[in-house]
């Protein structure tokens, strides 16, 4: 059983979210989701539209307008974390996998360097304990 679906690449987006997004409603929802995830709910890791996509203006009847691009982000995150779509786990376990396999080794940009938010995420780096350190 799980409480929320989280698409794989949103493990990165949630780590970097700092109150900016596609619309004010999206940003408000994203902040709320980030807060919920800190309570470590059971989540199903997916490559489909998820709880984050729900309030996104780019979600057109359940399909992201950048479906091909974000599908590749999801595929890469699943691959690098050794996960399969549909796996259920506590959110913080998933987040730890994303930190260990992608963020700490500095691999994020290889996955989503063509995202419009790339410059924002590039201002962050992570110390050995997984804490993010703003570099600029
Ligand atoms: S609909 Fe697309 S752009 Fe919007 S949150 Fe989902 S994956 Fe990201």
SS3 112: helix
Question: Does 12 sit in the ligand 1 pocket, CB within 6 Å?
Answer: no
Question: Does 70 sit in the ligand 1 pocket, CB within 6 Å?
Answer: yes
pLDDT, one tens digit per residue, over 10-29 is 999 999 998 999 999 999 99
pLDDT (0 to 100) of residue 127: 59
Count CA atoms within 13 Å of residue 92 on its CB side.
7
For ligand 1, pick from 11, 53, 62 the residue to mutate: most ligand atoms within 8 Å of CB.
53
Q: Do 76 and 82 contact (CB within 8 A), yes or no?
A: no
The protein residue whose alpha carbon is closest to atom 6 in ligand 1 is: 53
pTM exceeds 0.85: yes
Torsion of CA 82, 83, 88, 91, to 10 degrees: 60
> What's the mean pLDDT when you consider all of the chain?
92
pLDDT, one tens digit per residue, over 15-70 is 999 899 999 999 999 999 999 999 999 999 999 999 999 999 999 999 999 999 99
């Amino acid at each position: 059983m799980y409480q929320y679906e989280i698409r794989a690449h949103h493990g990165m987006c949630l780590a970097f979210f700092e109150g900016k997004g596609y619309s004010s409603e999206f940003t408000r929802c994203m902040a709320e989701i980030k807060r919920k995830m800190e309570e470590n709910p059971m989540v199903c890791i997916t490559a489909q539209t998820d709880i984050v996509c729900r309030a996104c203006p780019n979600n057109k009847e359940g399909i992201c307008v950048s479906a091909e691009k974000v599908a590749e982000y999801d595929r890469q995150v699943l691959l690098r974390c050794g996960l399969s779509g549909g796996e259920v786990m506590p959110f913080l376990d998933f987040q730890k996998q994303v930190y260990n396999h992608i963020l700490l080794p500095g691999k994020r940009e290889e996955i989503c360097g063509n995202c419009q938010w790339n410059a924002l995420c590039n201002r962050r780096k992570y110390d050995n304990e997984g804490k993010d350190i703003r570099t600029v």
